[in-house]
Amino acid sequence: MKKLIFTFIVLFSFISNIGAVELPIEVQAESVVVFDIEEEQVIYSKNPDKVQVLASLTKIMTAYTAITNLTNINQKVTITQQDISGLEGFTTVGLQVGDVVTFEDLIYATLLESGADASKALANHIAGSEKEFVAMMDQEADNLFLRNTNFEDSFGGNDENIATGREICYLLVKA
């Protein structure tokens, strides 16, 4: 099940019209990495090693860390005040105290809806606190040799959540 969900994450992350665009193109983004999964090679990059704030891309590592550390993705958890507090101004899926959801539900809500509340709930229910879960995220980054990657929260609200385009590409393709 973990492989299936992670495969979905990778495929979802690469759904685009890249095949319809001739490279090189003029790219407005400060940093870009386009990776051909079949050929396992970078086909276009611009400033791939520039460290940048991750924002919601943080949720990719949140989902990866959750999937890597869960033994039962169908386990149900009850949403607490700790899971939904401090998220004013961030995208949420509307979790309420007392809601009963599975880890699978939280992973999907994290990735498909960019739910900060789902991300924070994953962190709290897997590690006991967001702080402990962030330490797990940083350990996963270290295990993957992502040397320019750092996390301060599970949902992308902190500007100290950083990585390079190359490292995020590696996370998506190799992990």
**Are 167 and 52 a contacting pair, CB within 8 Å?**
no
CA angle 18, 23, 29 (to 5 degrees): 75
Measure the CA–CA gap between 14 and 88, rounded to whole angstroms.
30
Tell me the residue ranges of DSSP E strands in 90-137: 100-102
Catalytic machinery residues: 56, 59, 114
Q: Which two tokens stand for residue 156?
A: 């992308």
Q: Is 90 helix (H, G, I), strand (E, B) or coil?
A: coil
Per DSSP, the residues of 145-159 read T-TT-B-SSSSS-ST
